[in-house]
Amino acid sequence: MSDFGGLQIDVGGVVLDSPVIIASGVWPMDPSMWPEASLKGIGAICSKGTTLEPREGNRGKRICETHCGLLNSIGLQNGGSVSFVQNDLPALASSGKPVIANIAFETLEELRQIIERLNSERDLIGALEMNVSCPNVSMGGMSWGVDMDSLERAVTEARCKWRGPLWVKLSPQAPSIAVAARICEASGAQAIVVGNTWLGMAIDNDREEPFFERIFAGLSGPAIFPLSLRLIWEAVASVNIPVVGCGGICGPDEALSMFLAGASAVAVGTGLFLDSSLPVSICFKLSRHMENRAIANIKDLVGRGRHFRGETGVAG
């Protein structure tokens, strides 16, 4: 049962009681570590990116605060797909929230094998979320989400093997988000998440060297919000499947803007580092805004900001 009337929405085959999703990689995988205040308002939880085999993650410093933002170089530290299915997945599912299983892969063979493992626990998974920001090893390390041929191959392969709802989490580094979104839709994705962190870097001026061992790192937080919003705007205009808005949402107002731009749900990451009650604050804001305008269902809020000057290009 939804705590907030009118906020329930079907996003690419997953029914969410609230349209606020916990983004991948920011929240403990063990629900006993979730502050009570955060539980209300969460519509679904994305798991930390799972790879086929366990990964230790990156050495050296992993986080660096920037002006209004956060650079991270975690390096997909995770226990691998076997441990995910045995430990994390049942734990996450015990929260009662739909689990969005976020996966990362470097080859199509890895992708196939991860999906095979996840298919065995299909019932515990709301949707599979493909993180395509990782390198495609056979393409010389260029990320799947940046090379459109790789993207098409990966999504097609996943659609063919995965038995449940399929979401793709796009990279802001894609040369055109509209093209990437269309490729995902045409290849069988039921929703796209726009997007992941923006590639950035920091230099340690005292040491006169890059701050991170891997030089580049992913930027998240309020600094990227306007960039993300623009991507949502472009993506929504180009596809008919739902778009989940993600990137820099640290307060209810930004979340509302995402819906007005056409997002069917939002995912929050860095904002939770500041306030674990962000999901419920977003729900209150959406409810109030809808009430004031006599909007009964969140579906009718989606894309309302696009009706200016006659534009109606809202998909989904």
Ligand X SMILES: Cc1cc2nc3c(=O)[nH]c(=O)nc-3n(C[C@H](O)[C@H](O)[C@H](O)COP(=O)(O)O)c2cc1C
The stretch among 21-29, 33-41, 148-156, 157-165 that binds ligand X (CB under 6 A) is 21-29
- Which partner, ligand X, other proteins, none, binds residue 57 by CB below 5 to 8 Å per kind? other proteins
- Which partner, ligand X, other proteins, none, binds residue 56 by CB below 5 to 8 Å per kind? other proteins
Residue 198: CB minimum distance to ligand X, A? 8
Q: Which two tokens stand for residue 251?
A: 């307060």
- By CB under 6 A, tell whether 303 contacts ligand X: no
- Which partner, ligand X, other proteins, none, binds residue 37 by CB below 5 to 8 Å per kind? other proteins
- By CB under 6 A, tell whether 220 contacts ligand X: yes
List, as one string, the DSSP characters of 62-113.
-EEEETTEEEE-----B-HHHHIIIIIHHHHHTTTSPEEEEE--SSHHHHHH
Residue 183: CB minimum distance to ligand X, A? 18
Euclidean distance between CA atoms 273 and 35, whole angstroms: 12
H helical segments located in the chain? 36-39, 80-83, 89-93, 108-119, 148-161, 177-186, 225-238, 252-261, 271-274, 278-292
Q: End-to-end CA distance of the chain: give it in Å, rounded.
A: 24
- By CB under 6 A, tell whether 271 contacts ligand X: yes
**Contact status, residue 246 vs residue 194, Cβ threshold 8 Å:** yes
Just list the catalytic residues.
134
Return the number of the residue (88 or 147) whose C-beta is nearest other proteins: 88
Residue 149: CB minimum distance to ligand X, A? 21
Euclidean distance between CA atoms 150 and 189, whole angstroms: 15
- Which partner, ligand X, other proteins, none, binds residue 27 by CB below 5 to 8 Å per kind? other proteins
Q: According to CB under 6 A, which residues from 38 to 57 bind ligand X?
A: 48-49
Euclidean distance between CA atoms 288 and 294, whole angstroms: 10
Q: List contacts with other proteins (CB under 8 A).
A: 25-28, 30, 32-37, 48, 56-57, 61-65, 67-70, 72, 74, 77, 221-222, 250, 270, 272-277
> HSE (CB half, 13 Å, CA atoms) of 248?
22
The stretch among 69-77, 149-157, 275-283, 284-292 that binds ligand X (CB under 6 A) is 69-77
The amino acid present at 215, given as its one-letter code, is I
Residue 60: CB minimum distance to other proteins, A? 10
Euclidean distance between CA atoms 204 and 155, whole angstroms: 38
- Which partner, other proteins, ligand X, none, binds residue 249 by CB below 5 to 8 Å per kind? ligand X
Interface with ligand X (CB under 6 A): 23-26, 48-49, 70, 72, 74, 76, 102, 131, 169, 196-197, 220-221, 224, 246-249, 268-271
